[in-house]
A and B are shown apart, each in its own frame.
Chain A
């Protein structure tokens, strides 16, 4: 090792802005994920399989599927996000990247927000993009499909953000899966109820603006509060490791 590159001791300077640091976290998560595409495909495949199995297992009748379709899609989306949550911090925890993240001088909740955002881009967004195809498959009508996608577009980031709290809290445990689900599912229920309710209302021709606005409020609430909770949970988990 040669030391000619040592820059030397400097006074603390305003070195890297928060936005740059957030972007670095986001880009690294995306890069790592695309190097291991099977982890990306897993929740997507799960989503598609659950939705295709329902008509086979319950009933392929058009009237039933129109009735239950939005619920099936929402439940499948919710579970497939849940399935991917354990990976959110686990790998970072194991390889020490998480320690370095917590020790970055930028506010931790913003870095956590960047991570949650990356998680949504990698899991929630593909679900939203797949939903129209599956929506047509369960015989949802034109307007309902659009509303379904809209509710998923607003709802899946909420799932990622809330899920990040649970993932951070259960990080210190060796088998976190069960506890993570128990912790997170109750918090997912309101999103699920309003998500499916909105699509139902749309299929009955009712106005959905109010319900969509409420879902938007969920998103704002999750965006503003969940990163703080996740950051605090990460600190606790690291402190006890």
Chain B
């Protein structure tokens, strides 16, 4: 069994005097996809933000490759890709400029690769159109183009299927499966009925129950 990338130990999070989850322990292993489930308001997004390191209001430990994550911020961030509700796309910039700005903080890639990645997400011909002229789904696709050229072993994807059409959803599912087969680890939340082989479920129960 390979070493877990990220391990949560006794995570507990309270929000507005309500316990979202308590004693939550799980491991994220390479080659697995974990789907975080639960009704609205059960803390899925909060959990994902905690895992990504955006939210610090929790107790418990998060171990990155067996070591406490606090001392390994840079290493952790280099190995983790997070896509949130808000995709990080500037409406005034074109898809190319957006993707370039998002990638420049991580890896230097030639324009050609970025162009092809945008084509790969079905944005061929829209690469130089300002994003505010694109539809909501197309804007999400700009963010998703990052997944085609990402090399981070751990992906944390919040509501990743939002606003994507049926073909897009199918292609994205295939991408996730392929990624997991190649040894990537993925944590997703989605209300879309995701049925993938080797998918693990983590259910947050609105405060009263959870099982994993």
Q: Which residues of A contact B (CB under 8 A)?
A: 1-10, 12, 15-16, 20-21, 23-25, 27-28, 31-32, 35-36, 91, 94-97, 99-106, 111, 235, 238-240
Number of interface residues of B (CB under 8 A): 56
**Contact at A20–B108, with CB atoms within 8 Å?**
yes
In the assembled complex, which residues on chain B have CB atoms less than 8 Å from the CB atom of A32?
Answer: 90, 92-93
Which residue, A3, A10, A15, A35, has most C-beta atoms of chain B within 10 A? A3
B165-203 residues at the A interface, CB under 8 angstroms: 168, 171-172, 174-175, 178-179, 182-184
**Contact at A9–B105, with CB atoms within 8 Å?**
no
**Contact at A21–B88, with CB atoms within 8 Å?**
no
* A3-B86 contact, Cβ under 8 Å, with A103-B53, A105-B106: no
* A1-B86 contact, Cβ under 8 Å, with A9-B153, A32-B92, A103-B77: no
Task: Please pick, from B93, B105, B179, the residue contacting A16 in the complex, using a CB distance under 8 A.
Answer: B105
In the assembled complex, which residues on chain B have CB atoms less than 8 Å from the CB atom of A7?
Answer: 149-151
**Contact at B182–A21, with CB atoms within 8 Å?**
no
**Contact at A24–B104, with CB atoms within 8 Å?**
yes
**Contact at A3–B175, with CB atoms within 8 Å?**
yes
Looking at the assembled complex, report how far the CB atom of A216 sits from the nearest CB atom of chain B, in whole angstroms: 32
**Contact at B87–A239, with CB atoms within 8 Å?**
no
In the assembled complex, which residues on chain B have CB atoms less than 8 Å from the CB atom of A2?
Answer: 120, 148, 171
Looking at the assembled complex, report how far the CB atom of B107 sits from the nearest CB atom of chain A, in whole angstroms: 5
Question: With A and B bound together, what is the CA distance between A95 and B179 in angstroms?
Answer: 27
Task: Please pick, from B56, B102, B105, B179, the residue contacting A106 in the complex, using a CB distance under 8 A.
Answer: B105
Minimum CB distance partner of A92 in chain B: B90
Question: With A and B bound together, what is the CA distance between A3 and B183 in angstroms?
Answer: 15
30 A-B contact pairs sorted by A residue (CB < 8 Å): A1-B121, A1-B144, A3-B175, A5-B113, A5-B116, A5-B149, A9-B153, A9-B183, A15-B106, A16-B104, A16-B105, A20-B108, A21-B104, A24-B101, A24-B105, A35-B92, A35-B93, A91-B90, A95-B88, A97-B88, A97-B89, A99-B84, A100-B82, A101-B105, A103-B53, A105-B77, A106-B105, A238-B54, A239-B55, A239-B57
* A6-B88 contact, Cβ under 8 Å, with A99-B54, A100-B102, A240-B57: no
Looking at the assembled complex, report how far the CB atom of A99 sits from the nearest CB atom of chain B, in whole angstroms: 5
